[in-house]
Chains A and B, each alone.
Chain A
Amino acid sequence: MLSNTKSIVLIEDNKDDIELTIRAFRKSGINNEIHVFQDAEEAWAYFLKDNKKMKFQLKNDPAMVLLDLKLKGMDGFSLLESIKKDSKYWYVPVIILTSSNNCKDLHKAYKLGANSFLTKPVDYRRFIDLAMRAGLYWLFENETLNMLGQ
């Protein structure tokens, strides 16, 4: 079992995908805290610490924000842009996790400052494998800035 104080933020509107993604992390032995948001506005409120809307308490630094692009309401691109333009959160690694590997989406996401772009594999084993490798890299290998505590 691997664990440290870094947390994962998952923004995904498909409940099955949420469940399977969490399962994939857990099956790979990654037991870090995972905050799940089903829409981008709710996630942004979390970042802004908007107490009225906040459901979760920010206990640990998010070391990876897993962001789906196609969301109801505010879409993934808008949230990505908001995070990357924010004076406080711009450094937080945002990993796009989406079903399509559409060229335009890739281009747009990187232009807006995405740190990584992953396509959800349909194949279950490959999905678990991807979750494990991405998790290990961003949570345990990658050096993150920590400015939230200051």
Chain B
Amino acid sequence: MNILIIDDLKELVYNLADIFNDEGYIPYKAFNAETAIKISKTNKIDLALVDIKLPDKNGHKLIDNIKKISPETEFVITTGYASMDDAINSVREKMVISYEVKPLNIERLISFVEQVWMRKQAEKELVSNQQELDVIIHNAPDIIFRMDFNLKFIYVNTILLEELNLKEKEIIGKSLDELIMHFNYMNTWKEKMISVFEEEIEKTIEFEIRTGNNIKIFEARITPEVDNTGTISSLFIYARDITDRISTQNKLTELTSKLETRVAERTKQLESANEELEAFTYSASHDLRAPLRSVIGYSNVLKEDFSGDLREEGIKYLEKIIKATNRMSMLIDDLLDLSKITKSEIEYEKINISELFKNIIENYKSENINRKVETQVEENLFIQADKGLINILLDNLINNAWKYTEKEEITIIEFGYRKELNTRDIYYIKDNGAGFDMKYEKQLYNPFTRFHRAKDFPGSGIGLATALRIIKKHGGDIWAKSEIGKGAVFYFTLDKMGKNYAQ
């Protein structure tokens, strides 16, 4: 701290200079006003001790002079009793910070100077903090500014200046209206700010800054600032450039809507494909059946009423026609059933699958009383499934077993259940029939695939395809194990998680 001592008593000046020097301050000495002015012109004086009675000038005048040269300088008046009233007035008028009565109390003076020094240090720190804060605010990546009650800019950071392409003096003190060319949707922006003043709560808004053809979108937080009287006198605005975010969002929205459109298109295509399939099913059921019925009908009429007119060979051919058309009729019926299963919705209920199995087997037995049949059924197995579909499933699997055991002396059909390690419930239907080569297992479930000549084992080959569809509709799996001549086992599950076993 630089201290200037001004007094015509040279001895006092020297003494004080020594003392201040010892205390760690830098003393400057002046014995008259003229020297004091010179020194204060060339040195930054923090504190001046001014004798009120100088030979060339009144102390008050000198203080005025120095203040003009260096407004930062603070003053302490040293005075005798005679001019004490003047000194007191000067303190009151805040021209000087204190006065000391001569003869000086050195200890008191030193303590006072120390206080001044400490205050100066604190002020310096404050200024440096302020500067640091300024650096931070000006280098912030986001816009920061403050506005007063009249919506005039009172503080702006560098980013805002850069975005607006303006200099600080071109914006400070200007109102929003004066800068209208730089902002889009100005009225919304103003309304929002006014509402922050009125409602005294923080608000957010998006605003747009335009520079030439370029538009940037900012997301701003407007915070009310309370002054020391407790009223809101200004706003603090913090705004972030969200142009990229918005454009990404827009792209995303666009992509999503494109995707949705595509999904909708595909769904429409699928729906129309389904409708076509349904139309085909209908026409297959009606249009294909009608002529077939005529062929079958008239073949039978021929056989019944005109057998006598035909030779034996003719009757044989007629039989072949009837047999082939019957087979075709069966194919059409099975195909229709298959397409119905594909379309139908599952209705879950608790079913005793063991009972269902026994009922179907009993039907087969009663229709073929000559066959020797042994059945083994695991009793009371309960599942959650669609009763109608499960009935068709079992019927197809039993039909399959029934057909391929036809040539066995005793037919053995078994229905059972086992739990796998991963808790999946597996049901199976096992027969002792003709079996098949495992290399064809995958083809089993294609419609019309047959591994035995139709003459040996009748059927459309659609049964297992139907079974597979029913299983898939329930979310399950079907697979088989077999060997030629050693029977076959068909395994199936009804739910991937195996949660169908409900007792």
Contact = CB atoms under 8 A, between A and B. Distances in A.
Interface of A: 14, 16-17, 20, 23, 70, 98-103, 120, 122-125, 127
Contacts of A103: 340
Interface stretch (B6-14, B195-203, B288-296, B364-372): B288-296
A124 B285 contact: no
15 contacts: A16-B293, A16-B297, A20-B294, A23-B297, A98-B286, A99-B290, A99-B293, A102-B282, A103-B340, A120-B293, A122-B329, A122-B332, A124-B293, A124-B297, A124-B300
A23 B305 CA distance: 12
Which among B285, B290, B297, B326 has the greatest number of chain A C-beta atoms within 10 A?
A: B297
A127 B297 CA distance: 9
B282 A127 contact: no
A122 B322 CA distance: 11
Contact of A99 (B286, B299, B326): B286
A34 to B, nearest CB: 17
Contacts, number: 52
A122 B286 contact: no
Contacts of B340: 103
Interface of B is mostly: helix
A16 B295 CA distance: 9
Nearest to A16: B294
Nearest to B287: A99
Contacts of A122: 289, 292-293, 296, 329, 332-333
Given A120-B289, A122-B329, A122-B332, A17 B282 contact: no
Nearest to B328: A122
B348 interface: no
A103 B289 CA distance: 17
A73 B289 CA distance: 21
Contact of B286 (A16, A20, A100, A123): A100
B285 A101 contact: yes
Which among A99, A100, A120, A122 has the greatest number of chain B C-beta atoms within 10 A?
A: A122
Contact of B285 (A20, A23, A99, A127): A99
Contacts of A99: 285-286, 289-290, 293
Contacts of A125: 300
Given A99-B285, A100-B282, A102-B285, A124 B290 contact: no
Given A17-B290, A123-B326, A23 B301 contact: yes
Contacts of B290: 14, 16-17, 99
A17 B293 contact: yes
A20 B294 CA distance: 8
A127 B293 contact: yes
A99 B7 CA distance: 132
A124 B286 contact: no
A20 B291 CA distance: 12
B451 to A, nearest CB: 27
B10 to A, nearest CB: 125
Contacts of A124: 293, 296-297, 299-300
B298 interface: yes
Which among A14, A23, A99 has the greatest number of chain B C-beta atoms within 10 A?
A: A99
Chain B interface extent, by class? 10 to 19
A98 to B, nearest CB: 8
A90 B282 CA distance: 29
B122 to A, nearest CB: 92
Interface in B235-283: 282
A126 to B, nearest CB: 10
Contacts of A123: 296, 326, 329
A101 B285 CA distance: 8
Nearest to A124: B300
Nearest to B329: A122
Interface in B316-332: 326, 329, 332
A20 B282 contact: no
A120 B298 CA distance: 15
A102 B282 CA distance: 7
Nearest to B281: A102
A116 to B, nearest CB: 19
Nearest to B304: A27
Which among B285, B293, B300, B329 has the greatest number of chain A C-beta atoms within 10 A?
A: B293
Nearest to B294: A16
Contacts of B297: 16, 20, 23, 124, 127
Contacts of A17: 290, 293-294
A99 B340 CA distance: 16
Contacts of A20: 293-294, 297-298, 301
Interface string B71-96: 00000000000000000000000000
Contacts of B326: 123
Given A16-B293, A17-B294, A100 B285 contact: yes
B300 A70 contact: no
Q: Which 4 A-B pairs have the closest CB atoms?
A: A122-B329, A16-B294, A100-B285, A124-B300
B320 to A, nearest CB: 15
Given A120-B289, A123-B329, 9 more contacts: A14-B294, A16-B297, A17-B290, A17-B294, A20-B297, A99-B285, A99-B289, A100-B285, A122-B332
Contacts of B298: 16, 20
A123 B282 CA distance: 19
B286 to A, nearest CB: 4
Interface in B193-234: none
B307 to A, nearest CB: 15
A102 B340 CA distance: 9
A100 B288 CA distance: 10
